[in-house]
Amino acid sequence: MSREKITEIKGRKSQLFADQMNKIRQRQTYIAERNKKEQESKKKMVEDNYLKYGLWDTAHKIDQQLQKRTTTKDQLIALKEQINIYEQLFQFTKKDKHLLQFSSHGKHLI
């Protein structure tokens, strides 16, 4: 191979590497922004629901709040929102993750 071809190949190779690094940086930036937006929306949702429903911390309060709702669907929605509040306010380990699931055996409750 001639020297010019080798120089051309090396230049192309470095250009491809630079393009790949640029794509990786863009992807990382996009993921970081998406995660930030997701966290902000969850935080806003928790704040809104916390102000609307409060935190149900006793069995008596749970029963009392569920009796205020007339339909089963409304009750499930309220319970789901409470679980979301707990999930955002408190840190759960992987061992306790099953406590926050909305479904049983892959079937949605709502």
pLDDT over 90 (residue 59):
no
109, 72: one domain: yes
**Shared-domain flag, residues 61 and 108:** yes
Q: In sequence order, what are the residues at sequence separation of 6 or more whose Cβ sits closer than 8 angstroms to the Cβ of residue 45?
A: 84
Report yes or no on 37 lying in a domain: yes
d(CA 74, CA 59) in angstroms, rounded, equals: 18
Q: Which residues pair with 103 in a beta bridge?
A: 108
Q: Which stretch of DSSP H or E encloses residue 103? A: strand 103-104
Print the domain residue range for 107.
Answer: 54-110
Same domain, 78 and 34: no
Assess contact for 110 and 73: CB atoms under 8 A. Answer: yes
Residue 104: pLDDT band by 50, 70, 90 thresholds?
low
In the chain, the number of structural domains is 2
| Bridge partners (DSSP) listed for residue 107 | 104
**Which tokens in the block code for residue 59?**
């069995």
Domain co-membership, 59 together with 110: yes
Q: Is residue 79 part of a domain?
A: yes
Crossing angle of helices 72-89 and 59-68, in 10° steps, is: 140
Of residues 66 and 24, the one with the higher pLDDT is 24
Same-domain pairing of 37 and 58: no
- The verdict on residue 46 lying in a domain is no
Rg (CA), the chain: 25
Which range among 40-49, 56-65, 96-105 has the greatest average pLDDT? 56-65
- Both 23 and 62 in one domain: the answer is no
Kindly state whether residues 28 and 75 are assigned to the same domain.
no
Residue whose C-alpha is closest to residue 102's, from 66, 65, 77: 77
